[in-house]
Chain A
């Protein structure tokens, strides 16, 4: 079981707003950790979507945004489009862990 917990699936209609949560286990990881998000389109490698909780790399549309509060982080997608249908993963790095690079289990986003 990962120290980062994501819902297995979320869905939304085109144009809607969806959020994906990423909850950290306080027994394994402190509150002061940064979360990064990746988008994996079908059949492709993951792509960095958000880093440091809310920073978008160049080229990522502003429809994607991230936030963090305490041990929970969220990825929000507004104006949902069919091309957003993908798997989304959160990730953190904590040097106090024996496996410092940690991924959440992933969330499948379905655009209805």
Chain B
């Protein structure tokens, strides 16, 4: 059974850097994209970025200038750093595994099949 667990500070000061780590247990770490998704209180889901086991990344353009993701395959972990945070970055941050398949035209598509329980990060002085 695949399990994901977020860890990191629950409180970050404005202008500082938010750092979270996701530890994956069960299943293979390769083949998949590993992703971060956030949800501000009372709002919907926002994809932050995804990293392949090789280290290649995709980031949401609206956050790209502040986001950095890394992966450590030796311990099945991947991490998120979000710099220069403001109150608008207050959210529950989820890590998730993105599996893939192929549509009728042969194009690859991804969906999130396993999620962590979420980590609430508040930005406040």
Q: Interface of chain B, helix or strand or loop or mixed?
A: strand
Q: Which of B46, B60, B103, B110 has the most CB atoms of chain A within a 10 A radius of its CB?
A: B110
Residue of B nearest to A37 (CB): B111
CB-based contact B111/A51 at 8 Å: yes
**Is A102's CB within 8 Å of the partner chain B?**
yes
Please tell me the size bucket of the interface on B.
20 to 34
Contact residue among B62, B110, B117 (Cβ-Cβ distance under 8 Å from A93): B110
Please tell me the size bucket of the interface on A.
20 to 34
CB-based contact B107/A32 at 8 Å: yes
CB-based contact A106/B45 at 8 Å: yes
Question: Which A residues lie within 8 Å of B114 (CB)?
Answer: 48
Contact residue among B58, B94, B117 (Cβ-Cβ distance under 8 Å from A100): B58
CB-based contact B107/A46 at 8 Å: no
CB-based contact A91/B112 at 8 Å: yes
Instruction: Report 11 cross-chain contacts, Cβ distance below 8 Å, ordered by A residue.
Output: A45-B115, A45-B117, A46-B115, A47-B115, A51-B101, A91-B45, A95-B108, A99-B47, A99-B60, A103-B46, A106-B44
Instruction: Give A contacts to B, CB under 8 Å.
Output: 32-34, 36, 38, 44-48, 51-52, 57, 89, 91-93, 95, 98-106
Additional A-B contacts beyond A46-B45, A51-B111, A101-B50 (6; CB < 8 A): A38-B45, A44-B117, A93-B109, A99-B62, A103-B45, A106-B44
